[in-house]
Amino acid sequence: MKFQNILSETNNGITTITINRPSKLNALNRDTIQELHKAFEAAENSSKTKVIIITGSGEKAFVAGADISEFADFSVEEGGKLAAKGQELLFDFVANLSKPVIAAVNGFALGGGLELAMAAHFRVASNNAKMGLPEVSLGVIPGYGGTQRLPQLVGKGRAMEMIMTAGMIDATQALEYGLVNHVTTPEELLEFTEKIAGKIMRNSSVAIASAINAINANYQDGENGFEVEIEEFGNCFGTEDFKEGTQAFLQKRKAVFPGK
């Protein structure tokens, strides 16, 4: 699959998707969102992919935001459609993938960039990263899930302050807030993230998919997370991975999971 704005490469079970518009600080335009959707969809459906890493090319930016020139003259109706389509194609899509998605945040993650990082299942940042949702400085609000996911990750008060001030926080503050799980040097970012991916891949991909679904259920209107957990827990008992995992434990050996 050939792309104009992104790169996608799979090695040793890890698919690394890189937004490759360094001259635009990897800003998200319509074409890039569409390509990202296709790349994530392909990784989700590939038996070769166990973990997905999303990052940006160059040293300056993960994603510096959306491409404002594309929607500066939109009407109310067009603005609503823009947000709905973006969430459907990319942000909600990524959040609900059954394969783990880790954002390796290098440099600026602003606006849609931070929203993409937050849609990933968790985040690792380089120590030169800067994160923020500056949309109110443009007379608009975050429209790709930012007003929902940021409070879930950092708490209501901190999210309110970040969104209202349109300010940026650095990697140290993001770690303190719980917005990122780890901070590394820029040089170590991908290697460190791949090591975490390696730890994930030792475990049952079927069970991990069930865990993602159960965890996400707690944040969805009309869903009872405990009920989804019970259902997913029960479903695990019917899988080959469960049989292998329990037998390996009882036989005091390492499990070799068949996966999907």
Task: Compute the distance between CA of residue 238 and CA of residue 234 in angstroms, rounded to an integer.
Answer: 8
Q: What is the pLDDT of residues 160-202, one digit of tens each?
A: 999 999 999 999 999 999 999 999 999 999 999 999 999 999 9
pLDDT of residue 102: 98
pLDDT of residue 59: 84
Tell whether the model's pLDDT for residue 221 goes beyond 90.
Answer: no
Strand-by-strand arrangement of the 14-19 sheet: 6-11, 14-19, 51-56, 101-105, 122-126, 182-184
| Confidence band for 142, pLDDT divided at 50, 70 and 90 | very high
Q: Among this protein's residues, is 231 annotated catalytic?
A: no
Taking CA atoms, 174 is separated from 130, 156, 180, 215, in Å, by 9, 15, 6, 22
Mean pLDDT along residues 95-122: 98
Annotated catalytic residue within 9, 35, 59, 135: 135
Q: What is the pLDDT of residues 155-164, one digit of tens each?
A: 999 999 999 9
Contact 70, 119 (CB under 8 A): no
Task: Compute the distance between CA of residue 162 and CA of residue 32 in angstroms, rounded to an integer.
Answer: 26
Q: Among this protein's residues, is 135 annotated catalytic?
A: yes
237 CB-contact burial (10 Å; exposed 0-12 / middle 13-18 / buried 19+): exposed
Annotated catalytic residue within 115, 191, 231, 232: 115
pLDDT of residue 78: 94
Dihedral angle over CA of 202, 204, 210, 212, nearest 10? 10
| Confidence band for 260, pLDDT divided at 50, 70 and 90 | low
In our burial notation (b when 16+ CB lie closer than 10 A, e otherwise), range 68-102 reads eeebeeeeeeeeeebbeebbebbbebbbebebbbb
Tell whether the model's pLDDT for residue 257 goes beyond 80.
Answer: yes
| Confidence band for 16, pLDDT divided at 50, 70 and 90 | very high
Q: What percent of the chain has pLDDT over 90?
A: 92
95 in helix, strand or coil?
helix
pLDDT of residue 200: 98
Instruction: Tell if the pTM clears 0.75, that is, is over it.
Output: yes
| Confidence band for 2, pLDDT divided at 50, 70 and 90 | confident
Tell whether the model's pLDDT for residue 254 goes beyond 90.
Answer: yes
Mean pLDDT along residues 30-41: 97
pLDDT of residue 67: 83
| Confidence band for 106, pLDDT divided at 50, 70 and 90 | very high
pLDDT of residue 223: 87
- In whole numbers, what is the pLDDT of the chain averaged over residues? 96
The first and second tokens of residue 88, run together, are: 């459907």
The first and second tokens of residue 52, run together, are: 């997905």
